[in-house]
Amino acid sequence: MKLSWSHAVMYVRDRDKMIDFYTQVLGFVVTDQGPISPAQGAPQIVFMSQQPEEHHQLAMVCNRRDEAASNSTHHFAFRVAEFASVTSLAGTLNGIEGIKVAPLSHGNTLSIYFNDPEGNGLEVFWDTPWHVPQPQGKPWDTSLSEASALDWVESSFADEKGFVPREDYYEPRRQGIQ
């Protein structure tokens, strides 16, 4: 059996605030919403996606009651195709009260980690052209240009054992996972 990732569902307290953050800041679109079941008083569920072929990549069940930050999931991660998407989002997030942004590179990615308005962890990352054995991470400067950021990654991680071009790492894996 080959599994393909589809979606995640989380509990939220403030439906409108969370919809606003995920649509206005992260670019999701609400695809459906309504009571999760026909039972009287059933919580609302909101479905969201960025992909036209996916009904939902993320759903929110609106019945969270606790005030503490979520502690059952560390973070959800999203890949972007362009480096500029990461740096632009970092700038946007830095202007939102209560959102903490932590730029971190794992060598194989340039990432920003941040929280949503209810404290759920998120990561948006861009792949670098290299594979670097994990786990590891180093803070990076989101004001760097793409070329400067790549130079920084290479100089920061090139001495790591197993630092290789991404293709050199993934091609043998593709052969083994068919």
Residue ranges matching CATH 3.10.180.10 in the chain: 1-63
The tokens for 74 are 């560390």
Most confident segment among 3-12, 101-110, 160-169:
101-110
How confident is the model over 32-45, as pLDDT tens digits? 999 988 888 889 99
Residue ranges matching CATH 3.30.720.110 in the chain: 74-178
pTM for the full model? 0.85
The tokens for 92 are 């946007």
Whether the predicted pLDDT of 138 surpasses 90: yes
Whether the predicted pLDDT of 3 surpasses 70: no
Whether the predicted pLDDT of 48 surpasses 90: yes
Contact 48, 30 (CB under 8 A): yes
Task: Count the Cβ atoms, other than its own, within 10 Å of residue 134.
Answer: 11
pLDDT, position 177: 65
Task: Return the CATH architecture of domain 74-178.
Answer: 2-Layer Sandwich (3.30)
Q: What is the rounded average pLDDT of the residues 118-123?
A: 92
Q: Name the percent of the chain in helix, strand, coil, to the closest 5.
A: 25, 30, 45
The tokens for 66 are 């606790």
For the chain, the straight-line distance linking the first and the last C-alpha, in angstroms and rounded, comes to 11
Average pLDDT along the chain: 91
pLDDT, position 173: 78
Task: Count the Cβ atoms, other than its own, within 10 Å of residue 40.
Answer: 6
Residue 172: pLDDT band (50, 70, 90) is: confident
Whether the predicted pLDDT of 21 surpasses 80: yes
Whether the predicted pLDDT of 1 surpasses 50: no
Topology (CATH level 3) of domain 1-63? 2,3-Dihydroxybiphenyl 1,2-Dioxygenase; domain 1 (3.10.180)
pLDDT, position 146: 98
The β-bridge partners of 116 are none
Q: What is the rounded average pLDDT of the residues 98-124?
A: 95
pLDDT, position 127: 95
> What are the distances in angstroms from CA 117 to CA 16, 43, 121?
11, 20, 10
